[in-house]
Amino acid sequence: MNAMTSRAYIPRFEIPKTSIIDARTPHFTGQKRLDMINRIKRLLKKQDAVLVAHYYTDKDLQQVADETGGYVSDSLDMARFGNEHPATTLVVAGVRFMGETAKILNPEKRVLMPTLEATCSLDMSCPAEVFNPYCDQHPDHTVVVYANTSAEVKARADWVVTSSIAVRVVSHLIDKNKKILWAPDKHLGRYIQKVTGADMTLWPGTCIVHEEFKASALRRLMQKHPEAGVLVHPESPEEVIDLADVVGSTTALIKAAHDLPNNEFIVATDRGIFYKMRQAAPGKIFIEAPTGGEGATCISCAHCPWMAMNGLHNLAHTLETGSNEIHVDEQIRIKALRSTQRMLDFVRSHA
């Protein structure tokens, strides 16, 4: 396995503080909250729109999606659902790459998002103008990118994958003797490499949320809760993944919480997932995996600052005004569709 050297490229970007985002995002309670939810429900109907939300978004948004025939899921199933649903407008609550994926797959539909500011540290760590020349330097590699990338990066890729099928796609490529250029998440890339034994060159990106989980503090927490199952998203560092009972996509972790006999779980992913985990496994206890470490402070504190930008207030505003529409350049979209559609076709044929 080769890692791209930090001398070659060091991702740099601003991380908004979750506490500041939370303070800027109004949280409605009581009658105001119900009025807002009812207003959104009416608007969804009026606009022939369906709401597709990620598990990390606010539970009010997840509730509205559930109650209006929409969908709450991981990145793969969000893409699949939007692709198969007949609504003429898709409203994607999540981060920018999720809206772009919806548009890549559904050019005829209007794709709206509560905010266009919600990005992702992985997407930002892999700008197309740096990534494309890097791919040019590796012409003998198959380019496999995580869905958490821009449309431009997907346009350059041979394959797009999400965490739920990355291992299966890479195993399939190994059977064809392919060397893989993987971007942007180095932890997920290392995990896939370890499981499959693939020859992979890794881009040095990380998710700022999962990067903060700490193995030493997790070990201590596990000693205090010896009966707890440990559920870890593969965007986490290797030492944290090594402590897991189950490693998987958000959907896989929720399924594990339901299926495993444990009554208690330590969970290393964004805490937004607890809403659906509690529904899937009522009565079980869920504990956040530690982020800060001894005496340290966390930045994201197990909650994605960009996911936190989605709220009832901007969902209603988007539906009312048609603002925050996602547009993808048509030349880019056509190229990005090849690698993205390949993923959906793979899932269909390997179900």
Residues that bind ligand SF4 (CB under 6 A): 56, 95, 120-122, 148, 207-209, 235, 270, 304, 306-307
Contacts of 197 (CB under 8 A, 6+ apart): 174
CB of 164 to ligand 13P, least distance (A): 6
CB of 120 to ligand SF4, least distance (A): 3
Q: Under a CB-based contact definition with an 8 Å cutoff, are residues 285 and 263 in contact?
A: yes
- Please report where in the chains the tokens 């890339």 appear, as a residue: 189
> Scanning residues 252 to 311, which ones bind ligand 13P (CB under 6 A)?
none
250 binds ligand 13P (CB under 6 A): yes
Supply φ then ψ for residue 91, to 5 degrees.
-110, 115
The single residue among 148, 150, 318, 340 that binds ligand 13P, judged by CB under 6 A, is: 148
201 binds ligand 13P (CB under 6 A): no
Answer with the entry of ligand 13P, ligand SF4, none that 162 interacts with (C-beta below 5 to 8 A by kind): ligand 13P
- Between 155 and 304, whose beta carbon lies closer to ligand SF4? 304
- How many positions of this chain bind ligand 13P (CB under 6 A)? 12
Answer with the entry of ligand SF4, ligand 13P, none that 121 interacts with (C-beta below 5 to 8 A by kind): ligand SF4
115 binds ligand 13P (CB under 6 A): no
> Scanning residues 55 to 94, which ones bind ligand 13P (CB under 6 A)?
56, 74-76
- Between 47 and 148, whose beta carbon lies closer to ligand 13P? 148
User: How would you classify residue 183: left for phi > 0, otherwise alpha for psi between -120 and 50, otherwise beta?
Assistant: beta
Closest to 68 (Cα-Cα) out of 310, 345, 319, 292: 319
- Between 60 and 211, whose beta carbon lies closer to ligand SF4? 211
Separation between Cα atoms, residue 82 and residue 102, nearest integer Å = 6
- Please report where in the chains the tokens 């995990």 appear, as a residue: 191
Q: Which amino acid is at 104?
A: I
Rounded (5°) CA angle 158-181-105: 30
- Between 47 and 300, whose beta carbon lies closer to ligand 13P? 300
Answer with the entry of ligand SF4, ligand 13P, none that 89 interacts with (C-beta below 5 to 8 A by kind): none
The single residue among 249, 291, 324, 340 that binds ligand 13P, judged by CB under 6 A, is: 249
Q: Under a CB-based contact definition with an 8 Å cutoff, are residues 69 and 91 in contact?
A: no
Tokens of 242: 């090594």
In 5-85, where do the E strands start and end? 49-54, 71-73
Answer with the entry of ligand SF4, ligand 13P, none that 208 interacts with (C-beta below 5 to 8 A by kind): ligand SF4
Chain centroid offset of residue 289 CA: 18
CB of 97 to ligand 13P, least distance (A): 9
The b/e string for 21-45 (b: 16+ C-beta within 10 A; e otherwise) is: beeebeeeeeeeeeebbeebeebbe
Span from 11-19, 158-166, 286-294, 314-322 in contact with ligand 13P (CB under 6 A): 158-166
- Please report where in the chains the tokens 């020859």 appear, as a residue: 199
Binding site for ligand 13P (CB under 6 A): 54, 56, 74-76, 148, 162-164, 235, 249-250
